[in-house]
Amino acid sequence: MVDLTPVDSTTALPVSPPALVDGINPVRQRPVDERSVWQASELESDDSWHHTLTAAERSELDAATRAAAARGLTDGQFDRDDFPLPTLGPRIEALVDNVENGRGVGLLRGIPVEQYTNAELRVLYWGFGVYAGNVISQNSKGQLLAEVRDHGNAYGDRNTRGFSTNAELLPHVDTSDMTTLLCVRQAKSGGVSRVISSTATYNAVLAERPEFLEVLYRGFYNDLRGEGPTQKIDELTHNPVPVYSYHAGRVSCSYNQRMIDNAAVKRGQPLSDHERAALDFLREVTLREELQYRFKMVPGDIQMVSNHSVFHSREDFVDHEEHERKRCLFRFWINIRGGRPLAENFADRYNTGPRGGVAVGDGARYTFS
């Protein structure tokens, strides 16, 4: 097994000048030495990334939720001034800071979701969101708060969003600084969450197959599934999106195998043998047991995941037959206030500009409702 222990940045090691890929992206040729590099056992023994609400914090959250709801406010209609959390607000901000500058994951537990209607929960979750960062569009309908459910869609359809199915989702990232999920109801079985340090995968590629770094830095076109600004079903990203990007002293990662594969099909240009080998190796690394931290979200949990330093995935699940018991999670795509600088060719992943969400239009073409 490769030793992925972070290297102390003060250790005297020979440092080569950064190589360039196509004269644009410098390739970091040393291991990443941030706290975002971890193995599952390390995350298991570290309690710095999760917090369970105290009775006082629950009371504060409840008061803010009911006051906002009583005023007729709903998700997308208010900011911090309308949702005072003098104690819990700083706690949320600290968890977000750990997502961006620490472990890359966060978990807030203990929200009594059973005490609220669906509409009240949307108010509560939006209140969390305004403290976590800037919420951006997740689809061409302009949804800021998405309800993640199985809509019976076929995952095999290239234009289907995976979150609208009950299928297993392989390690990937979303198109924002951070993804958050509030568990409202669990599935009957399955649906276990998995997180993988993407900076640890970088160190593994560097140590074991460094010849793949250049092609991963160069990146790949991604399929936009009819959700780009043109809303054409064959629209791809304007440029290849790097899997790894080294910018302003930090390595950031972007990876969605399905969007890469579908783009190659739509372009009519198969990946080269070297590109395929690089992606196959990366996938193998993401599936290593020692790197996958598994946990099952329970109602009242909010999972927070960096899309720059952590890959996330989930197991497939079997749902309840009764509609009112079916699995449901609320999801945000969030850009963090004061988030890390990103290289231009890495930051624009939906043809909407750096850190832009999905373009909003009236001709959504993806399979979701």
The model's pLDDT over 250-302, given as tens digits with 9 standing for 90+, comes to: 999 999 999 999 999 999 999 999 999 999 999 999 999 999 999 999 999 99
Percent of the chain with pLDDT over 70: 83
Q: How confident is the model at residue 170 (pLDDT cuts 50, 70, 90)?
A: confident
Average pLDDT over residues 63-75: 97
Q: Is the pLDDT reported for residue 339 higher than 90? A: yes
Q: 153 pLDDT exceeds 80?
A: no
Residue 107: which residues within 8 A CB-CB, separation 6 or more?
A: 49, 50, 51, 295, 301, 302, 303, 304
Annotated domain spans of the chain: 19-48+144-347
Q: What is the pLDDT of residues 71-117, one digit of tens each?
A: 999 999 999 999 999 999 999 999 999 999 999 999 999 999 999 99
Per-residue confidence at 211, pLDDT binned at 50, 70, 90? very high
CATH no. of 19-48+144-347? 3.60.130.10
Residue 182 pLDDT > 50: yes
pLDDT at 360: 87
Per-residue confidence at 168, pLDDT binned at 50, 70, 90?
A: low
333 pLDDT higher than 90: yes
**How confident is residue 151, by pLDDT bands cut at 50, 70 and 90?**
low
Q: Which two tokens stand for residue 347?
A: 């930051």
pLDDT tier, 15 (very low <50, low <70, confident <90, very high otherwise) = very low
| Whether the predicted pLDDT of 338 surpasses 70 | yes
Q: Give pLDDT, residue 366.
A: 31
Burial of residue 275 (CB within 10 Å: 0-12, 13-18, 19+) is middle
Q: How many CB atoms lie within 10 A of CB 365?
A: 16
* Exposure string over 131-156, b if 16+ CB within 10 A, otherwise e: bbbbbbbbbbbebbbbebbbeebebe
62 phi, psi to nearest 5 deg: -65, -45
CA angle (344 as vertex; 341, 347 as ends), nearest 5: 70
- Which range is most confident: 186-195, 335-344, 353-362? 335-344
Is-contact 131 354, C-beta < 8 A? no
Banded pLDDT at 314 (limits 50, 70, 90): confident
Calpha distance 228→103 (Å, rounded): 32
Instruction: State residue 11's pLDDT score.
Output: 32
**214 pLDDT exceeds 50?**
yes
Mean pLDDT estimate for the chain:
87
Is residue 287 within 8 Å of 281, Cβ to Cβ?
no
Under the banding of pLDDT at 50, 70 and 90, the label for residue 139 is: confident
Alpha carbon of 21 to those of 194, 212, 213, 242, 278: distances in Å? 32, 12, 10, 10, 15
Q: What is the pTM of this model?
A: 0.88
Lowest average pLDDT, out of 122-136, 158-172, 224-238, 283-297, goes to 158-172
- Say yes or no to pLDDT of 5 above 90: no
Residue 20 has pLDDT above 50, yes or no: yes
> Which pLDDT belongs to residue 189?
58
| pLDDT of res. 167 | 64
* Whole-number pLDDT of residue 19: 64
Whole-number pLDDT of residue 1: 30
pLDDT of residue 140: 85
Sheet holding 292-295, edge to edge: 169-172, 310-314, 193-197, 292-295
| pLDDT confidence tier of residue 141, bands split at 50, 70 and 90 | confident
User: Would the pLDDT of 14 be above 60?
Assistant: no
